[in-house]
Amino acid sequence: MTVPQPPEPIPGARLLFSLDPAVSHLNHGSFGAVPIGVQRAQQRLRDEMEANPLRFFAQGLVDRIAHTRRHLATFLGADPDGTALVGNATTGVAVVLQSLGLRPGDEVVTTDHGYGAVGFSVERECGRTGAVSRTLRVPLTASDEEVVEIVRTGLRPGRTRLLVIDQITSATARLFPTAAIVGVAREQGVPVLVDAAHAPGMLPITVASVGADFWVGNLHKWAYAPRGTAVLVVAEPWRERIQPLVVSWEQDSGFPARVEWQATLDYTPWLAAPVGLFTLRSLDLDRVRAHNAALAAYGQRVVGDALGVAPADLPEPGGPTVSMRLIPLPPGVATTMDAATALRARIADRLAAEVAVMAWNDRGWLRLCGQVYNKPDEYDRLAVRLSALLAQG
């Protein structure tokens, strides 16, 4: 089989970012990259804040946050009245977990594709309340139908108080059939929290159509927002039960203001986030999504070929718009988190390439992303040099 052709570059897109040109930035999914125009918008907001802090915080800031929330919720197809701005998806997960009122005998169900920090949050809340956590094993090659069936048989109505499912998995770059999973859980009376950390900006999603009780997503990854910008979307029956991690002056205002307002928090990332959406639209959102997914697929094939991985052994993400791809590393390489972290650092230092290296199910994996600032030759160079680096042990 031939390697897929890379997409045509989007003219001028690389110039929108201040990334170091001496480095191949192939891991947009971890921390994103903020366009220069968004950086400048946030700096203007910081300048406004520092010019008169009292005026900035005390005169109209709550309304400005609400206006931003409406803008971002509309982009995501979510109900603005059920959407709260939070610092990141993991924060949103923590808010939900501590609002559930878990008790001994309750359980929280996750999958083995879940994000590590979310798993820590589940374990902490279960340890604090006497509830238990249970992990469903989902094979990497499972079809959507098989994933749904694993969830269906893994839930225990009356005991399972929450199912946490990823929309796009971080560790395995897999798109899960979230709407179908939510439907199965609803049949059994189990609430669902969808961790959609990578979805905003990457996928043409409508949050309302997913139908989850809780949905969290970052806008600082694929929607070009400043870091620290995410949303927690809560279905109407749950909103009055949602409590912030820290109580502040908007507590009596109810959800979402009671979750958003944290006194002297730096709100400039949120207020600048609409400029990120403007940047996406100016590049043509559909074109950006298609470009990024095609470039990630190209990178997966050329690097996979260089490592001797047959095309049939390269995991498919489950959708044509997923801009992250996974490549299995040779057996015995990066099979633990410490080893994966060390290999990522070696690749960054010796190959001048930023990638993600994962240890999942006792196997090392390389995760590559595609973004408008990337070029095909960056993946080509990595493919040529990575095999030699791995051979050095």
Confidence of residue 1 (pLDDT cuts 50, 70, 90): low
pLDDT (tens digit per residue) in 344-372: 999 999 999 999 999 999 999 999 999 99
Taking CA atoms, 311 is separated from 99, 109, 143, 328, in Å, by 45, 33, 18, 11
> How confident is the model at residue 4, as a pLDDT?
80
Beta strand residue intervals within the chain, DSSP E: 24-25, 83-86, 107-111, 132-136, 160-166, 192-195, 214-218, 230-234, 324-328, 353-354, 356-360, 363-369
147, 148, 154, 160: CA torsion to nearest 10: 120
Q: What percentage of the chain carries pLDDT values higher than 90?
A: 95
Token output for 211: 């139908």
What domains are defined for the chain?
A: 14-33+284-391 (3.90.1150.10), 38-278 (3.40.640.10)
Convert the pLDDT of each residue in 251-280 to its tens digit: 999 999 999 998 899 999 999 999 999 999
Question: pTM to 2 decimals?
Answer: 0.97
Burial 380-389 (b: 16+ CB within 10 A, else e): bbbbebbeee
CA distance 237 to 254: 13
The radius of gyration of the chain from alpha carbons, rounded to an integer in Å, stands at: 21
pLDDT range class, residue 392, cuts 50, 70, 90? confident
Helix (H, G, I), strand (E, B) or coil at 249: coil
Average pLDDT, the chain: 96
177-227 tens-digit pLDDT = 999 999 999 999 999 999 999 999 999 999 999 999 999 999 999 999 999
Nearest to 358 by CA among 340, 383, 375, 343: 340
DSSP 315-335: PP-SSTT--EEEEEPPTTSS-
The answer for residues whose C-beta is within 8 angstroms of residue 391's C-beta and 6 or more apart is none
Residues 23-36 have a mean pLDDT of 98
